[in-house]
């Protein structure tokens, strides 16, 4: 077999990915016009891809077909190209397969050439990748955070959240994060230096949120019951930037905010956003993110798992809260 890849054998129940995905083999067929082949050095683990594994038709991406490969962001070198602008040896990022080698249409996969001089190429998955774009867009545009405002981020130790709290701070806001457990909270306050962290696994979530004070911008990755706790603590004219609904992906329930009337009472603006919508702003976003990163003002801890065969262990961390920062699979090739 020329290649190993993760095949979707069936739709997963909850987070039982081992029963749904299997490592399979395939032989390469000849590249079609417009395609490139990428030797993956890194796979990006992203909670949002959980939705693509379900059969809901009304999500923001069509479901991935059962029997086909699992898809996600990959990073690696081009080893063969029939696409204009891509040559063997180029470093690229694309929506490819969870595989040793990804074969993709360069345009459809959103493949982009990356500057190989960036010291740590993993940054193209973190601050210079979708997580960075999403964090900056959500704080600055959707959330419209202004200097001096109080910004709260859920899943703040996750790859997007950890950038969002730092960006809020860089933009002159008072940054607070919500994370699970004392270790993550300590990381946020002690390592990243944000003003405060709320441990959602502790008993007194409401009291911890009260201590933060009224929230101007809530960058929400989670939804679920936490959203209700925050809705009653928003300042008037506050903004809720809905980035993800992690609680829905893991619990199998659906977020139905019981405190929805606060949208009217407090004249809140609640808005969903999603990286493909601001792809065209990517170069400008990357420039700002790269400046901060190179100045050491924006950091990303990486949670690295070695080996394609261990991908599901890495993926599961996203849903059990086992990680701080960006979860990546590094391939031994």
Q: Which residues bind its own copies (CB under 8 A)?
A: 58-60, 223, 232, 242-245, 248, 254-258, 260-274, 277
What's the min distance (Å) between Cβ of 155 and its own copies?
Answer: 14
CA distance 180 to 185: 7
Name the residue nearer to its own copies (CB basis): 50 or 93: 50
Q: Distance between the two ends of the chain, CA-based, in angstroms?
A: 16
Name the residue nearer to its own copies (CB basis): 207 or 265: 265
What's the min distance (Å) between Cβ of 218 and its own copies?
Answer: 13
Do the bridges between strand 150-153 and strand 215-220 make them parallel or antiparallel, or are there none, so unpaired? parallel
What's the min distance (Å) between Cβ of 128 and its own copies?
Answer: 23
Answer positive or negative: Cα dihedral of 254, 255, 261, 264.
negative
What's the min distance (Å) between Cβ of 250 and its own copies?
Answer: 14
Name the residue nearer to its own copies (CB basis): 82 or 269: 269
Two tokens at 244? Answer: 């993800």
What's the min distance (Å) between Cβ of 266 and its own copies?
Answer: 7
Name the residue nearer to its own copies (CB basis): 267 or 287: 267
What is the per-residue burial (b if ≥16 Cβ within 10 Å, else e) of 149-175?
bbbbbbbbbbbbbbbbbbbbbbbebbb
C-alpha angle 192-158-273 in degrees, rounded to nearest 5 = 110
CA distance 137 to 271: 12
Name the residue nearer to its own copies (CB basis): 230 or 268: 268
């Amino acid at each position: 077999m020329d290649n190993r890849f993760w095949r979707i054998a069936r739709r997963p129940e909850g987070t039982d990915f081992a029963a749904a995905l299997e490592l399979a083999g395939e032989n390469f067929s000849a590249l079609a016009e417009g395609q490139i082949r990428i030797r993956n050095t890194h796979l990006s683990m992203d909670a949002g891809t959980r939705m693509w594994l379900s059969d809901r038709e009304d999500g923001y991406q069509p479901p991935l077909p059962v029997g086909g490969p699992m898809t996600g962001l990959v990073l690696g070198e081009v080893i063969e190209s029939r696409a204009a602008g891509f040559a063997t040896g180029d470093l690229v990022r694309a929506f490819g397969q969870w595989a040793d080698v990804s074969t993709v249409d360069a345009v459809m996969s959103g493949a982009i050439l990356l500057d190989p001089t960036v010291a740590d190429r993993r940054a193209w998955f973190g601050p210079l990748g979708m997580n960075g774009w999403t964090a900056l867009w959500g704080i600055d545009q959707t959330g419209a955070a202004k200097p001096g405002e109080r910004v709260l981020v859920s899943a703040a130790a996750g790859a997007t959240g950890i950038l969002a709290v730092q960006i809020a701070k860089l933009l002159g806001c008072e940054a607070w994060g919500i994370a699970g457990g004392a270790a993550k909270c300590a990381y946020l306050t002690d390592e990243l230096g944000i003003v405060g962290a709320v441990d959602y696994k502790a008993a007194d979530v409401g009291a911890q949120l009260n201590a933060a004070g009224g929230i101007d911008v809530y960058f929400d990755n989670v939804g679920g019951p936490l959203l209700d706790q925050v809705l009653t603590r928003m300042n008037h004219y506050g903004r809720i930037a809905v980035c993800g609904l992690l609680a829905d992906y893991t619990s199998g329930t659906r977020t139905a905010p019981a405190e929805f009337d606060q949208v009217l009472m407090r004249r809140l603006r609640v808005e969903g956003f999603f990286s493909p919508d601001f792809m065209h702003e990517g170069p400008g976003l990357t420039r700002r993110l790269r400046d901060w990163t190179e100045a050491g003002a924006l950091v990303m801890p990486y949670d690295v798992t070695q080996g394609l065969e261990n991908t599901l262990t890495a993926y599961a961390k996203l849903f059990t809260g086992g990680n701080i920062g960006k979860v990546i699979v590094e391939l031994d090739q």
